Amino acid sequence: MQESPRSPIAVRMIDLAQPLSSITGLSRYTAVRIFLRRADRLLGTFDLLTDGAEAVSVERLRLAIAADFGTRLFKEELARTLGASSPEPAAAPVAAARPHAVSIIVPTCERPDDLRRCLESLSAQTTRHSIEIVVVDNKPSSASAANVAGAFPLVNLVTESRPGLSYARNAGIAAASGEIIVTTDDDVVAPSDWIEHLIAPFYRAEVLCVTGNVLPLELETESQRQFEVYGGLGKGYTPREFNRSWFRAQRDGVPTWDIGATANAAFRASCFRDPAIGLLDEALGAGTPTGCSEDTYLFYRILKNGGTIVYLPSTYVWHRHRPSMRSLRHQVHAYSKGHVAYHLTTLMREGDRRALWRLATLPKVHLQRIWHRLRGWSDYPIPITLIEIAGNLAGPFALWRSRRRVRRLKPSTRLQPAAADEDTPRLDSDPEHAHAVPLESPLSQGPTA
């Protein structure tokens, strides 16, 4: 897995609601990845080889779009003409949601350039909702986040010295005043209508969480391209709903990784006050020995306790993937550790024996991937599969280390349940000392074995 800067792929968005125009500025790219949308709806993606040409003509674009999407677009136009509904309707009308107080939580750790781009996009949101932006500096010994945040009037800067994404997000949630909590990352850039669309499904009382799509901001390096082959962060182009019925129907572990990611998600603030759901598990996530899965376990608890989660594929953000192969290897290893840690957590904390079947079938999944790659049926790299295997094997020990780490650093303060007429969270103590009072839930306990 050596870095190869010689085959960058350009990234472009085309809106079919606008007249087609040629794509230019492609001379240093081998291909262009085109995301296709029509007005507010994201349709899908395809690649065009450029072979060093400066531009892709309108005629070539038309032919490529017709080849990949022609039949589908024709059927939708015919359905619209006949007065039938679209075969893939939007999950919720934007106008249906009443205006909300929204808090956007942005954890950061010494990435000032990424943070600046993120905050510029968040400050440019066009929405009926009132917005506050809570930036959580996860390395307050450095002044980089404070220097950037100071230039944005909407930003409330919070510090969290305990390392880890879950600690940082929980500190932001504790400091937030909104009735809707939106989570994203500092390496994300959001379109100006992002919040307006992400909040829309909350007009339904049963919806506790909404997730959206995550698209690559750039594919300049081999690691960024390999991450998309690995699966990226997007979850497809079909709207989906997840509820307790879906949760109960799963047989080999609950695949909440199919729901989305906290790089593009919104939650009712009441979720985090509910003792059955609570804050993010601080033994999971980036910056801990387990590496990830704090979001998948949060989705699990929401669904187990009767909430509905809506996935909106057309509500997207742009994510800057890690630019080096070393960082990609670290990320894949972390994801693989976290995947095992997630299933062990649902087994030990929730008594969910379906996790055992998923863990038992992981070797078969890896062997199939290697076999398919050797046969030429897949372009999934064998080195990535080997890293995944190593990460899976390290998962149990990583979870044990993470639980010990939380006991040493102390879990974050439990949010108090609000009175019936309250929309904002309250704390048992000052947010600046959020670790002083332990969570009084199973999440705060040490390892069970």
What are the extents of the domains in the chain?
A: 9-81, 99-327+407-444
* DSSP assignment letter at 157: E
Residue 49's SS3 state is strand
Backbone angles phi, psi at 278, to 5 degrees: 75, -170
Backbone angles phi, psi at 250, to 5 degrees: -70, 145
End-to-end CA distance of the chain: 37
Q: Please report the pLDDT score of residue 70 as a whole number.
A: 81
CATH code that applies to domain 99-327+407-444: 3.90.550.10
The one-letter code for the residue type at 215 is L
Radius of gyration of the chain (CA): 22
What is d(CA 279, CA 433) in angstroms, rounded to the nearest whole number? 16
What is d(CA 384, CA 225) in angstroms, rounded to the nearest whole number? 13
Structural contact between residues 232 and 331, judged by C-beta atoms closer than 8 angstroms:
no
Residue with tokens 């079919």: 16
Instruction: List Cα–Cα distances, 145 to 79, 249, 341, 342, 401, in angstroms.
Output: 50, 44, 31, 31, 29
Backbone angles phi, psi at 367, to 5 degrees: -65, -40
Q: Please report the pLDDT score of residue 353 as a whole number.
A: 96
For the chain, 449 residues long, give each residue's pLDDT as a single digit of tens: 344 446 899 999 999 999 999 999 999 999 999 999 998 899 999 999 998 899 999 999 999 999 988 887 777 766 666 665 544 444 445 555 688 999 999 999 999 999 999 999 999 999 999 999 999 999 998 889 999 999 998 899 999 999 999 999 999 999 999 999 999 999 999 999 999 999 999 999 999 999 999 999 999 999 999 999 888 899 999 999 999 999 999 999 999 999 999 999 999 999 999 999 999 999 999 999 999 999 999 999 999 999 999 999 999 999 999 999 999 999 999 999 999 999 999 999 999 999 999 999 999 999 999 999 999 998 888 999 999 999 999 999 999 999 999 999 999 988 877 654 344 343 333 333 333 223 333 333 333 32
Q: Please report the pLDDT score of residue 98 as a whole number.
A: 80
What is d(CA 382, CA 362) in angstroms, rounded to the nearest whole number? 15
176: Cβ–Cβ under 8 A, 6 or more apart, which residues?
103, 105, 132, 134, 269, 424, 425
